[in-house]
Amino acid sequence: MSIFQALVLGIIQGLTEFLPVSSSGHLVIAQHLIGIPNNISFDLVVHLATVLAVIIYFARDIWELIVAFILGTLEAFKIKRSQNYVFGQHFRVGWLIIIASIPTALMGFFFKDFFEALFNSNLAVGGFLLVTAAVILLAEWRGKNNRDEFQVGFLDAIIIGVAQGCAIAPGLSRSGATVSAALWRGLKRDFAARFSFLLAIPAILGAGIFKFGDVSSDIAGGVIGVWPLLAGAIAALVSGLFAIKIFMEIIRRTSIRCFAYYCIVLGIVVIVCFR
């Protein structure tokens, strides 16, 4: 993989990770068009770069979640009592992220080999792009969007976590699945998007820690170079920050059906042309 190819793939990853159009599906398609084999190590590194984009963009939210979670836990176990601290939305959201991460982790652990095998099938990518379109359209049609953080329960978190677990499949957008699941459960649009992005942090970091040994082995074995990995990571970080900002503006103001229509067109093209 050349540095130029890595830059192109990194930009694609950053843009499509947070827009509900499936980054994994676009990477499979792009790698097919460029004529290079799918490289799990490269995919992992650029995914970690997009997590850094989330951390940078939502730094204040993450800090408030961490502080609230620590203080709330101390208060719950009567280790530290504070009359000024109230169990608020950040403490609650912190627990919801943990609950939602459990089904994602279980699905990733038990079905990892099954999902990874799908990365070699363009037909699977096209099919799951159509599934992404369907879940977005269903959520926009069904969602009431009138529930805030204080009205979200453990069942909502589990459903969103399952949706994220399913999105390991190439072509099924992670942000599309999680945001759609949140909208279908009636969550307000802004919170649905923020929860989706924050939920991505433990999921992708967990996969990164689990597979980081593969990256080291590929570098040592000459499968991929350090400079293409670095170029792809920087491109994914910059384009990821841009994509988050764009998506947050879109979901606050209007429907995300346009992404569903895009996935329908792309899915049909992939099935017809690359089967």
- The gap from C-alpha 20 to its chain's centroid, in whole angstroms, comes to 9
Helix%, strand%, coil% for the chain, nearest 5: 80, 0, 20
What span, in angstroms and rounded, lies between the C-alpha atoms of 142 and 55? 31
pLDDT in tens, 35-79: 777 777 788 888 889 999 999 999 998 998 888 888 777 776 665
Share of the chain above pLDDT 90, in %: 40
Query: Averaged over 247-266, what is the pLDDT?
Result: 92
Residue 85: exposed, middle, or buried by beta-carbon count in 10 A (0-12, 13-18, 19+)?
Answer: middle
Mean pLDDT score of the chain: 84
What's the pLDDT score for residue 222?
65
C-beta of residue 177 within 8 angstroms of C-beta of residue 118: no
What span, in angstroms and rounded, lies between the C-alpha atoms of 47 and 41? 10
Mean pLDDT lowest for which of 17-21, 102-106, 119-123, 255-259?
119-123
Distances from the Cα of 23 to the Cα of 27, 87, 101, 110, 175, angstroms: 6, 36, 20, 22, 10
What's the pLDDT score for residue 68?
83
What's the pLDDT score for residue 85?
44
Residue 200: exposed, middle, or buried by beta-carbon count in 10 A (0-12, 13-18, 19+)?
Answer: buried
Say what the pTM is: 0.84
User: For the chain, which residues make up each domain, given as ranges?
Assistant: 3-273
Is 149 a residue whose pLDDT tops 90? no
What's the pLDDT score for residue 115?
72
Tell me the Ramachandran region of residue 128: left when phi exceeds 0, alpha when psi lies from -120 to 50, beta otherwise. Answer: alpha
